[in-house]
Amino acid sequence: MSSVWDVERWVDEAALSAIKMFYPTALTRNISLPLSEIFKHLLFLVEQKKLEVVYDIRCPECYATVNIVNSCVASGDIIECPLGHEFELTADVIFPVFKISESYKEYVRQYCKKKLKRGSMLRGEIPV
């Protein structure tokens, strides 16, 4: 049984990896919670400045990313993708993407380094 804390753990592990951005659906592979629950908790982490949210505008015909923007409204404007498909800017073509904030990535890295050092000293090993 998954809980929202699994969302936090996923984000912490992602912060240690090369992952910079991810779609909320990436978490559904490892966490058995409804996407709406995961999404709600990710937005909570945005409030805590661990994450930032940006918007990926994708062509409904070829799924190419047309633009990634910091804020976006479904204005109904006509947009053209790099392949020349024209489409309306509606909620259906705007996908939220979460970015791990640089400062949080740095914090998790430092924290784990310290913890590793402490752990190896406890085992009588020489910290590197």
**Which stretches of 1-128 are DSSP H helices?**
4-16, 25-28, 35-47, 102-122
- Positions in 84-103 near Zn ion (CB under 5 A): 85
Rounded distance between C-alpha atoms, residue 108 and residue 115, angstroms: 10
List the one residue from 7, 81, 89, 93 that touches Zn ion (CB under 5 A). Answer: 81
The answer to whether 64 touches 81, Cβ cutoff 8 Å, is: yes
> 3-class SS at 80?
strand
Q: Does 62 bind Zn ion (CB under 5 A)?
A: yes
**Per CB under 5 A, which region of 16-24, 60-68, 98-106, 113-121 contacts Zn ion?**
60-68
- Of 58 and 105, which has the nearer Cβ to Zn ion? 58
- Of 38 and 81, which has the nearer Cβ to Zn ion? 81
Write out the two tokens for 105.
């990535």
Residues that bind Zn ion (CB under 5 A): 59, 61-62, 81, 83, 85
